[in-house]
Every structure is written in structure tokens, then in C-alpha cells.
Chains A and B, each alone.
Chain A
Amino acid sequence: GENVEQHPSTLSVQEGDSAVIKCTYSDSASNYFPWYKQELGKRPQLIIDIRSNVGEKKDQRIAVTLNKTAKHFSLHITETQPEDSAVYFCAAIGGSARQLTFGSGTQLTVLP
């Protein structure tokens, strides 16, 4: 089955700086890669996603890049704000899989 690895597990940045979180996946059949933001005790919220037929997608301060050859994808947050502080999860699905496989999560802290 699919295996998704996520790094780093914790990340602290100064407000206004950029943050990058990286994930790798094992199943070359995976073709959908979402990113979720989860605040403490709350439900995960989809913030951006990408399909395997594109290499990059951007939505305001958030962007995701995908390298199918290397089987890795990354989340980029620019001009970080304190409200960006949360746990971020990457995930992957594709092929015959019926459910998402999640990464281990990254605790992002944006320092004011």
C-alpha cells in the first residue's frame, strides 16, 4: 500500500517569512495530493490540493508543487501570519486505493 512520509515534524518561522513542508510517497499510481490544516481539537480543513497532471498550483499565499518522477510534493506558505499556526497534513491517494493515506503531520508555529 501507499506510504507517505512528511518532514519536518515541527517548524517555527518568524511572521512574514516563508514555510515549506515536504512529503514523499511510495505508490507511483497515486494521483491526488491534498493538504489539510488542523487546529487543536478541530477537524482537518482542506487548504489546497493537486493532481498528478500538473506540477504546481497556487492559491494566494499557499502553493503546492509536485514532482512525479521523484514522488514528492511540497507545501509552500509565503508571508506567514500567526493564524497560520496549526498542524498541517499531507495525503495521497490513487490507483486502487479507496482512502487517503496521511503523512505524520507538521506543527507549524509562526512567531509574532
Chain B
Amino acid sequence: GAVVSQHPSRVICKSGTSVKIECRSLDFQATTMFWYRQFPKQSLMLMATSNEGSKATYEQGVEKDKFLINHASLTLSTLTVTSAHPEDSSFYICSANLLQGAPEKLFFGSGTQLSVL
């Protein structure tokens, strides 16, 4: 089946530094990718929709200057957590649609556990 690769799987950083997370669709092209945040024992909260070649669409309450999203190609979207603070510590996960407009073809990356000291 389709594969979405996400790196790194785990990152520990100091407060104030920036962290970049990559999400790649390995064997298909994805014009749209989604970024989620998940706190322990909680649901997936959509942060933003990443659109290839255009600006990302952020959900209400998500700071676009803090969570920078770049979707420069049909197979790669990146999420950069800028000036990270301990409250940004969370599990971040991306997803991509194998087929535009087909939600049943949604595949998730393996997630990134971010710990900010």
C-alpha cells in the first residue's frame, strides 16, 4: 500500500530552538497533506492543511508564525516549530491522500515525538 514517511521519529531540543519535521509520500504524489497534533491519551487535532505550491490553511487557534508549513513539491511537506517551548512538546503526525477527494485513501506518517526541555 501507499507509504507516508515522517522524520524524525523523536526529537529532543532546548527551549528557543526550531525543529523541522518532514513528511514524504514515497510512492505517490500528494497535492494535499495534513498536519495533526496529539497530546497523550487525546485525539488527533488538525493543525493545518498543507497545499502544494500555495499557502497552508491553518485551523483556528493555530499560530501560523509558530508552525511554519512548506509544501514545496508533490511528495514533501515540512512543519517547522519555531522557537519551541515546553508547551509545544507533543506528538506530531502528518497524513496524505493517495487520491484527491478520496478520504478512504488517507495514509498517516509514523509520527514525531517532540520534547522541548
Contacts and interface: CB of A to CB of B under 8 A. Distances in A.
Contacts of A93: 103
Nearest to A45: B108
A100 B109 contact: no
A99 B93 CA distance: 14
Contacts, number: 43
A61 interface: no
- Interface residue range, chain A: 20 to 34
Interface residues of B, number: 18
A90 to B, nearest CB: 10
Nearest to B104: A49
A42 B111 contact: yes
B103 A34 contact: yes
A44 B108 contact: yes
27 contacts: A32-B104, A34-B103, A34-B104, A34-B106, A41-B111, A41-B113, A43-B93, A43-B109, A43-B110, A44-B44, A44-B93, A46-B106, A49-B104, A87-B41, A93-B103, A98-B32, A99-B34, A99-B46, A99-B49, A100-B103, A100-B106, A102-B43, A102-B44, A104-B43, A105-B41, A105-B42, A107-B41
Q: Which 7 A-B pairs have the closest CB atoms?
A: A43-B108, A104-B43, A93-B103, A102-B44, A102-B43, A105-B43, A43-B110
Interface of B: 32, 34, 41-44, 46, 49, 91, 93, 103-104, 106, 108-111, 113
